[in-house]
Amino acid sequence: MSETSRALTEAQRRAVHELLRVSPVADDLGRRFVAAGHELHLVGGSVRDALLGRLGDDLDFTTDARPDETLQVVKGWAESVWTTGAEFGTIGIARRGLRIEITTFRADAYDRVSRNPIVQYGNSLIDDLRRRDFAVNAMAVSVPGHEFTDPYGGLTDLAQRVLRTPGTPEESFADDPLRMLRAARFASQLRFEVAPEVYTAMREMAGDLSRITAERIRDEFVKLMCGADPITGLRLLVDTGLAEQFLPELSGLKLEIDEHAQHKDVYEHTLIVVRNAIGHEKEGPDFVLRMAALMHDIGKPATKAVGPDGGVSFHHHEVVGARLTKQRMKALKFPKDVIADVAELVALHLRFYGYGRGEWTDSAVRRYVTDAGPLLPRLHSLTRSDVTTRNRRKAAQLAADYDALEARIARIAAEEDLARVRPDLDGNAIMELLGVPPGPIVGKAWRHLKELRLERGPLDRDEAEAELLRWAAAEGIKTP
């Protein structure tokens, strides 16, 4: 036996051991299917992740049993059952903390106009594996027999960390163009490379991604952004032209030279900022922070100007960038709150610059904190991540300036409740003092007092009442 064969055999053994260690219910479930005259195989990502030592609590199985037969097999054994995927041959169950999906062998055909398959059940495990996206996801382990099936060389690909398709990539991507985006996602999540023929097909067929719904593209993109190495995935999207299909602003950054760092373009700067932002995460992937880092400079192409001296500027690109961010994320069907958070971070990411010149008053600090609101920790991370200069002295000065700002925020926060800046008089007090009922006047008075609070800090009761009466007189409001 060759060294390669021995290595692959050992990997198989480790995979089975991992599966049995993490999922002791697999054999029990397999015995129930065998007793009913069916076969059952752990399949796809579950086998791949077992080989990588990262198997989670979601397990995928495939079987020759039809969905109604699967329901009969798991009846009384499963702790819960869901049938939302039954029309596609999938029955979901839960058992001992595991989420299990069991799908009937498939032999789907695609109309190649939409991505929706014409669901056809198959009778062959090999044919079922052939219809899967990549060879590393086309491996299976039978239960309870533990026979390893790998007809398309997925184990070798896994050892080489490469993505190939079971059939030709052109055939696979024509069936489901989303697989091209999934290749970039796996490059991000698993740090895999795509095979040359897969890369070529992605470039030639990128336009087919237009057949895919925005929601499905969004979901794959979020997984890519939250992967271990989103930079690799993003480069693949841009280099193959896939980004042009749903995020053209990213590719557009390649042509824009950043006035703060003439040694690199804005595209390269952006990727560095994304990488820096990842380094600031404390509790796992933060999509909002990573997306804000990716989008923070997309307003530059629309605002680029060259001065008489040849200097490049991008005035108000943060404002334009926030607007473009909202438009792009809305088109991709992101939730409104996620869109709002990312766009606000883009809009605020330049606010810090100028602090080091000593221009900020306590009022400016209060406004910075209030405008950021609950996004303040992310804004801290984004602002620090945006420092990519190779000038060590400049980088150190910017870091020191931001340290000073954070210390100043902490000092003012200790003296005032910056997390909840409110006027010193509430609505009831305003109505009582002015002698007015609920209405627009109360709202205007409230906003005026909030501006005073931001400008001057907390006022005592007498000062607040005096300021309110002074405002009312200027507005021509008669008071009791």
Statement: the pTM of the whole predicted model exceeds 0.85: no
Tens of each residue's pLDDT in the chain, 480 residues: 555 556 556 666 666 666 656 567 888 999 999 999 999 999 999 999 888 877 888 999 999 999 999 999 999 999 999 999 888 899 999 998 899 999 999 875 555 565 555 667 888 999 999 989 999 999 999 999 888 899 999 999 988 899 999 999 999 999 899 999 999 999 999 899 999 999 999 999 999 999 999 999 999 999 999 999 999 999 999 999 999 999 999 998 886 555 554 445 889 999 999 999 999 998 899 999 999 999 999 988 877 777 776 666 676 788 899 999 999 999 999 999 999 999 999 999 988 876 656 667 777 787 788 888 889 999 999 999 998 877 788 878 878 888 888 888 887 776 555 555 555 567 677 777 777 778 787 777 777 777 766 666 666 777 767 776 777 777 777 776
The residues near 259 (Cβ < 8 Å, ≥ 6 apart) are: 311, 312, 313, 314
Diameter of the chain by CA atoms? 100
**111: Cα within 13 Å, side-chain hemisphere:** 8
79-87 long-range CB contacts below 8 Å, 24 or more apart?
Answer: 87/119
User: What CATH architecture is 3-160?
Assistant: 2-Layer Sandwich (3.30)
Does residue 312 sit in helix, strand or coil?
A: strand
pLDDT, residue 261, reads 45
Q: Is residue 167 exposed (0-12), middle (13-18) or buried (19+ Cβ within 10 Å)?
A: middle
Q: How far apart are CA 396 and CA 386, in angstroms?
A: 13
pLDDT, residue 200, reads 97
Strands (E), 97-160: 98-104, 109-110, 117-118, 140-142, 148-149
